[in-house]
Amino acid sequence: MTSLPSGLLGDLDPTSDRAVFRQIADQLREAIDRGRFTEGAKLPSEAELVEHYGVSRMTVRNSFSVLQGEGLVHAEHGKGVFVRPRPPVRRLASDRFARRHREQGKSAFIVEADAAGSHPQVDSLEVKEEKASQDISTRLGSVRRVLARRRRYLLDGKPVEFAASYLPLDIARGTAIAEPNPGPGGIYARLEELGHRLDHFEEEIRARMPAPAEVKTLRLASGVPVIHLIRTAYDTEGRAVEVCDTVMAADAYVLSYQLPAT
C-alpha cells in the first residue's frame, strides 16, 4: 500500500469537539469542492485513510457514509469510493404540454431525448383496469375504478422516471388509450380526439427520499432524492380527465415553469 500524496488531506484536530469522522468527512468534502477530486475520481481507499489519519476503519467508513448521505460520493464494491458524477439533466419546460407539441408524431420524451443526443427508452409498460386509490379517486372526482397506465423512462440505459397515469373508465375503456401504444401525440392527443378538449394542467411537486422500491426501479444511488410530481389534466368543462403520478430521479431533472405576473 502506498501512502497518500502529502498535502492532499490535512490532519485531525484532537482539541476540536467535532467528531473525528466528521472532521474526515469535512476534509474530503472540501477537497472535492476545491476540485482536488473531480467527477468520477476515486477517493483514497479506506485502508489509506486509516493509515493517514491513524483511526480505525469503522471511523473512516463512517465518514464515507456521511458523504454518501449528502449524495457527494458513492461506493463500488471491490473498486473504491468515487465522486458521484452529475448525470445530464432533463429540463422540463412549462410549455411541454402545449397543443402544438402534441400535433406532431412521436412522444415528447422520445423527441426531446433524440434532440439532446441521448438514447431514450420506455419499458415496464403496464396497462390495466384497477381500483382507484383514495387519493386518485378524489382527484378524478370520486371514481371507483380507473384505467392505469404505468411505464418507466430511461435515458442511455439509466432509469430516470417512473410514471403512472390514471383515467376514468368511462373515458378510456375501449379506446386507443387502453392500448399499450396509444399512438402519435400520446394519450392527450387521444383525449382531445375523443372530444375532451384539454383546458389546463395542475401540477403538484414534492421532494423526498425514495422508498426502497423506488431505489430499485430507478436504480438510485444513495443520497439521491426523488421529485414526486402529480399532474391533473382538466378539460374545458372543468372535469379532471387524467391524473399522472410520476416519480423522478432528482439528479436527472430540472423543472421549469412560467408564471404570469397578473
Partner DNA sequence: CTTACCCACTCGTCTATACGAGTATGCCTG
Partner DNA sequence: CAGGCATACTCGTATAGACGAGTGGGTAAG
Least distance in angstroms from the C-beta of 112 to a copy of itself: 16
- Does 201 engage in binding with a copy of itself (CB under 8 A)? yes
- Does 109 engage in binding with a copy of itself (CB under 8 A)? no
Which of the stretches 38-46, 91-99, 194-202, 238-246 binds DNA when contact is defined by CB under 7 A? Answer: 38-46
- Does 106 engage in binding with a copy of itself (CB under 8 A)? no
Task: Give the integer Cα–Cα distance in Å for 147 and 242.
Answer: 10
> Which residues, in sequence order, are bridge partners of residue 155?
120, 158
- Could you identify the residue written with the cell 485502508? 47
Least distance in angstroms from the C-beta of 99 to a copy of itself: 6
Binding mask 80-109 for DNA (x = CB under 7 A): xx----------------------------
Closest CA relative to residue 45, chosen from 74, 81, 11: 81
Task: Give the integer Cα–Cα distance in Å for 159 and 260.
Answer: 33
Task: Give the integer Cα–Cα distance in Å for 106 and 113.
Answer: 11
For residues 157 and 233, the answer to whether their CB atoms sit within 8 Å is no
What DSSP designation does 43 have?
A: P
Which parts of this chain interact with a copy of itself (CB under 8 A)? Answer: 26, 29, 58, 65, 69-71, 94-95, 97-99, 188, 198-212, 222-227, 233, 250-251, 253-262
Which parts of this chain interact with DNA (CB under 7 A)? Answer: 1, 19-22, 43, 45-48, 54-59, 61-62, 64, 75-81
